[in-house]
Amino acid sequence: MKIGIPLEPEDETRVAIVPGSMKKLSKAGFEVYVEKGAGLKANYSDSDYSESGANVVNRDSVLDCDILISIRLPDVDALRSGQIIACVADPFRHPEKVKSCIKKGITLMSMDMIPRRLSRAQSMDVNSSQDNLAGYKAVLLGAAHVPRGIPMMTTSAGTVRPAKVVIMGSGVAGLQAIATAKRIGAIVYASDVRKSAAEQIESVGGRFIEVDGMDDFEDEAGYAKPLTPEFIQKVNDTVCEVASDADIIVTTARIFGRPAPITVPSNAVSNFKSGAVVVDMNADVGGNCEMTKQGEVYTTDNGVIIVGTSNLPGTLANTASMLYSNNLTTFITSLVDKENGFTISEEDDILVGAPEGNDFHVPGMGGVLICKDGELHPKQTRLGGVL
């Protein structure tokens, strides 16, 4: 079968498949067609692809392939019935795009729906690979904007005390942010609504911020549950008080398929010290900081710097593309059966979710297979509620 790798939209620097994945894809029986210039923003040249065995062609040839692998969902109007797309479709926030695929007769597999608790899915988990990089880059952005040194320094001119960093949330991105801040010499405090996260925070060098009355607010898929307004207020008050004298505050709270919760209200920002930096990792979905402006870095009236940079993995396009490519290559080659070739099996837990009674089953939640041949998959009952 032919796999097409399109050039991403102007604001996306990553590419879905890198030259290093060609050998594994070819061995699995795929012919790969890459749009001219698709990898340039990520420092992968057309000649890199050609030399690795890919066909570098125009956009029409790519969009005519049997399977499309991309970061963003391509323009469905340019596609044909029967094609297969594997990408990050963010279907809960973009139900109209799913409807377009259904109307067109396209099979859509959204990689952000990967059942992350399945051990077999971990090497295909694009959320984890990209969040890791985002957490790392968030701390670097904070360090770049804060007007002071980060580690303790003893000099003949005096001693510089280490910076204080507060990480709000300790999922994959948060843990990487904690570890990164610790590596560059900061004293790191971190919070999470999941009480089970305390041990993880401490294991990477952070100090856990506990909130009175905290329970383990984690759903069966490993994501944070929506919280009551009262408890959100309690968490905000406690963590923002700890952050009031911090040099860098990184917010990571993201609820699957919902707008980002506000964890840093504007009144908290007004109490932060001048020169403090807030790096909001969720500016693209509304922001955790009430004062975040998507895509902007600005200074408030009281001297706090708010960083609303979107698509943090895209600021590390070369590495982010390589990891995404590894995820997608592992995923797509797992669908190749020696006897039947490329097969979308209804028995595959990664595609359709784990069966009822399985420890990994999440009620009403399917896997990455959103719609098949123009029909919403029966197990995507949550999506059925938004379509």
What pLDDT sits at residue 235? 81
Amino acid symbol at 365: M
- Is 379 contained in some domain? no
What pLDDT sits at residue 221? 57
Residues 333 and 285 in one domain: no
Q: What is the mean pLDDT of residues 189-194?
A: 88
> Within 13 Å, how many C-alpha atoms sit on residue 230's CB side?
3
Task: Report the number of distinct structural domains present in the chain.
Answer: 2
Residues 76 and 149 in one domain: no
Question: How do beta strands 336-337 and 164-168 pair?
Answer: unpaired
Average pLDDT over the chain, rounded to whole?
92
Whether pLDDT at 362 is above 60: no
- Is 385 contained in some domain? no
Residues 151 and 283 in one domain: yes
CATH code of residue 138? 3.40.50.720
Residues 156 and 248 in one domain: yes
Whether pLDDT at 293 is above 70: yes
Compute the Cα dihedral for 379, 380, 386, 387 and give only its sign: negative
Residues 50 and 171 in one domain: no
Q: What is the mean pLDDT of residues 23-34?
A: 97
Here the contacts of 186-189 (C-beta below 8 Å, separation 24 or greater) are 186/150, 186/151, 186/162, 186/247, 186/248, 187/162, 187/163, 189/164, 189/165, 189/242, 189/243, 189/246
Q: Residue 358's pLDDT band (boundaries 50, 70, 90)?
A: very low
Residues 207 and 297 in one domain: yes
Q: What is the mean pLDDT of residues 110-118?
A: 89
Residues 99 and 152 in one domain: no
Residues 160 and 304 in one domain: yes
Rounded to whole angstroms, the Cα distance separating 369 from 367 reads: 6
Q: What is the pLDDT of residues 55-64, one digit of tens each?
A: 999 999 999 9
Q: Residue 361's pLDDT band (boundaries 50, 70, 90)?
A: very low
Q: What is the pLDDT of residues 308-330, one digit of tens each?
A: 999 999 999 999 999 999 999 99
Active site residues: 116, 122, 125, 128, 223
Whether pLDDT at 219 is above 80: no
Its domain, for residue 160, covers: 133-310
Which of 289, 310, 331 is the C-terminal boundary of a domain? 310
- Is 13 contained in some domain? yes
- Is 387 contained in some domain? no
Which of 310, 331, 362 is the C-terminal boundary of a domain? 310
Residues 203 and 323 in one domain: no
Residues 304 and 349 in one domain: no
- Is 279 contained in some domain? yes
Residues 325 and 267 in one domain: no
Which of 310, 337, 363 is the C-terminal boundary of a domain? 310
- Is 294 contained in some domain? yes
Q: What's the pTM?
A: 0.93
Whether pLDDT at 360 is above 90: no
Residues 106 and 41 in one domain: yes
Whether pLDDT at 355 is above 70: no
- Is 71 contained in some domain? yes
- Is 108 contained in some domain? yes
Q: What is the pLDDT of residues 31-46, one digit of tens each?
A: 999 999 999 999 999 9
Q: CA-based diameter of the chain, in Å? A: 73
Q: What is the mean pLDDT of residues 204-230?
A: 74
